[in-house]
Amino acid sequence: MLSNSTILVTGGTGSFGHKFIPMTLEKYNPKKIIVFSRDEMKQWEMAKLFQDDPRVRFFIGDVRDKERLYRALDGVDYVVHAAATKIVPTAEYNPFECVKTNVHGAMNLIDACIDKGIKRVVALSTDKASSPINLYGATKLTSDKLFVAGNAYSGQHPTQFAVVRYGNVMGSRGSVIPFFLSIKEKGELPITDDRMTRFMITLKEGVELVWHAFEDMEGGEIYVKKIPSMNIMDVAKAVAPEAQTKIIGIRPGEKLHEQMIGAEDSYYTYEYAEHFKILPTINNWGNSPERVKDGKKVPEGFVYSSDNNTEWMPRKELESWIQENKDRIGKI
């Protein structure tokens, strides 16, 4: 599907874009990938990595600016929406800015994609959008709902929208593993709560989930990858086995456990070999055969959270992953 196509990635200079672009170039050989983002320095640095590849183009712009989106989407076939204000405390202290990017930006992109005749759009979500307790999660839940409803909003236009949702990306900039690595020499790691658990997913798995969504979607689905969990104490020991730990308490807007599917979603959630799929509640799409395909309905009240997961990542596996990826952790 993506072969010989033109793909635009909003927020394309982030961790996801740095993995999605080389993987997609290698697997699908698209005609063009357009990196759309507002940070000129990140684009400048990223352009150096692809300076000999004419398939990669860069476009300065902000999803808050609908006119700029219209210009960027000329000739585009597929869109991955990765742009967002993502840091929980930043969103709590700058709520208007978070809403402008995560909600208004989603609305702008949906309008622009419909009007420009984009074929398919996949938006990235987060575990924090499931039963949100912080503003970031609330805006991403709103964004998810907007993209799902975009399939009805598009009317007779052919544009289809879907969402992928996953948790903590291992080693991404600002996440817990590079943070622990940066301070481990002090001999003490701050732990918010020793009961805390987190989902663990690699960027490669995140990219593969997006590819699957593009191939499988009929419109309105939320795809949730099956991934292992870890206790935060095991993460700390994998990073710095000799360091002491100090309990500092949960930060504002932070959850004890990550959740990607809530009990309220269970009525419209189906299970597959490697993922779950939350189907739309609107227009009777929740039980449409073309969306369900070979899925198995989950039990009523089913919750997919990092503490009740059936799959757990052993500490040794994370230690091996850190050794294999130590030169890239926290760089993007």
How buried is residue 327: exposed, middle or buried, by Cβ count under 10 Å (0-12/13-18/19+)?
exposed
Q: For residue 128, indicate whether it is catalytic.
A: yes
Q: Which of 42, 116, 128, 225 is catalytic?
A: 128
Per the document, the length of the chain is: 332
* CA atoms within 13 Å, Cβ hemisphere of 55: 16
Query: Which residue from 218, 203, 105 is spatially nearest to 159, judged by alpha carbons?
Result: 218
| Residue 32: strand pairing partners | 6
How buried is residue 165: exposed, middle or buried, by Cβ count under 10 Å (0-12/13-18/19+)?
buried
DSSP collapsed to 3 states, 205-239? HHHHHHHHHHHHCCCCCEEEECCCEEEHHHHHHHH
Give the separation between CA 118 and CA 110, rounded to whole angstroms: 10
Q: What are phi and psi of 28, to 5 degrees?
A: -110, -15
Would you please indicate which residues are annotated as catalytic (active-site) residues? 128
